[in-house]
Amino acid sequence: MLDQARLLELLRAGESSRVEFKQSPSDRQQIRHTICALANDLEGSGQPGVIFFGVDDQGRVIGLEQNDRTARDLLAIRNEGKILPRPSLQTQWLQVEGKAVLALVVLPNDDPPVRCDGRVWVRTGTTVQQATPEEEARLAERRRGADLPWDHRPCSQATLHDLDLLFFQQSYLPSAVAPQLLDQNARSPEQQLLSLRLLHQGVPTHGAILVLGKDPLQFVPGAYIQFLRIHGTALGDPVADNKRIAGPLPDQVRRIEEVLEAHITSALRLSPDSQEERLADYPLVALQQYVRNALIHRNYESSHAPVRIYWYDDRVEIENPGDCTAK
């Protein structure tokens, strides 16, 4: 946290690539863009950025009404889900010329580029603007492979030819990037993959292989689901159905949910008002959530075991490599 002396020093120095003045916190969208830009730290200074509220564009202190609610509302921006990865924010009230000024401190993100509503914003000089493809590439390349989560690290043996780029452009991109932005830019697939952390130094990441790979098992041996429908209550009882579901994660999710739905049975009963009701033995939505969590949060890095779904007569067991089992 910057101390008061350092904050006052930054305030007196005027607007810069790390400092923004705003008269009030009323324009929330502009504040989000500025937070996003400061978190991206395009210059790579490694230093926090600060938005001072209660100061006009010329640096004159206007002041705000000092109350906890204003600070809480600004801190709540980090949890809205509009800025991803989530920014690290801190607030501090200052007394300047007998008036209250609120400092919102934005720490640089360790995993850029940071996006607001699917767009990358950067600060050049005293201006906040949408990042160019070259600036996005600079931010993406700043991350060092060894410091990244496993799914963001490069899959060393993979190339762009191992990815389903048609699926990426037709299905993945529209769900990950603002539609208006897609209409405006003419980036190459490589630039788009890099911007979304699916490419690192020209190599597909493990995450890209799992989601977009033509054959993920070639690179991640445990990337499949083993499904057993067992007639009985023990693993040694007769197997009624046995499936091995592989492929990119979206295909796995679709196919296993079709299997789950096919195995759900329902009983007919009469309600108190003599209406017929069908009651499923398991709610499909609950099973879907368990399976999706198992696939997304499992440990792919250190285990070659698959996600196992064992459906017994009296229970369903979902085993997730990484010490997470649901029953």
> Tell me: the pLDDT tens digits for 145-195?
446 788 888 887 899 999 999 999 888 888 887 777 776 667 788 888 888
What does the pLDDT average to over 275-296? 87
Residue 50 makes CB contacts below 8 A (sequence gap 6+) with 2, 7, 10, 18, 19, 20, 38, 103, 104, 105, 106
CATH node for 225-326: 3.30.565.60
- pLDDT tens by residue, 187-216: 788 888 888 889 887 889 999 999 999 999
N residues, the chain: 327
Torsion angle, alpha carbons of 91, 95, 99, 102, to 10 = -10
What does the pLDDT average to over 267-296? 82
Computed over every residue of the chain, the mean pLDDT equals: 89
In a 3-state reduction of DSSP, which class is residue 116? strand
Q: Do domains 4-129 and 225-326 have the same CATH topology?
A: no
Give the confidence band of 1 by pLDDT, cuts at 50, 70, 90: low
What does the pLDDT average to over 125-151? 81
**Is the confidence at residue 274, as pLDDT, over 80?**
no
What does the pLDDT average to over 30-38? 97
What does the pLDDT average to over 34-61? 94
* Residue-level pLDDT at 271: 64
* Residue-level pLDDT at 184: 67
**Is the confidence at residue 241, as pLDDT, over 80?**
yes
* Residue-level pLDDT at 300: 86
What does the pLDDT average to over 46-62? 94
Give the confidence band of 259 by pLDDT, cuts at 50, 70, 90: very high
Tell me the one-letter amino acid at 73.
D
Look at 287 and 274; give whichever has higher pLDDT.
287
What does the pLDDT average to over 292-307? 88
326 has which bridge partners? 318
* Residue-level pLDDT at 324: 47
* Domains of the chain by residue range: 4-129, 143-218, 225-326
**Is the confidence at residue 326, as pLDDT, over 60?**
no
Q: How far apart are CA 291 and CA 38, in angstroms?
A: 37
* Residue-level pLDDT at 146: 47
Domain 4-129 has CATH 3.40.640.10: no
Strands 316-320 and 225-230: unpaired
The pTM is what? 0.57
What does the pLDDT average to over 281-285? 90
* Residue-level pLDDT at 200: 81
Q: How many CB atoms lie within 10 A of CB 202?
A: 12
DSSP state of 282: S
Torsion angle, alpha carbons of 322, 246, 153, 147, to 10 = -10
* Residue-level pLDDT at 304: 85
Q: How far apart are CA 320 and CA 306, in angstroms?
A: 8
* Residue-level pLDDT at 141: 75
- pLDDT tens by residue, 55-85: 999 999 999 999 999 999 999 999 999 999 9
Angle between helices 249-263 and 284-297 (to 10 degrees): 150
Cα-based distances in Å from 15 to 46, 128, 261, 301:
18, 12, 58, 45
* Residue-level pLDDT at 78: 93
- pLDDT tens by residue, 81-112: 999 999 999 999 999 999 999 999 999 998 88
What does the pLDDT average to over 234-250? 95
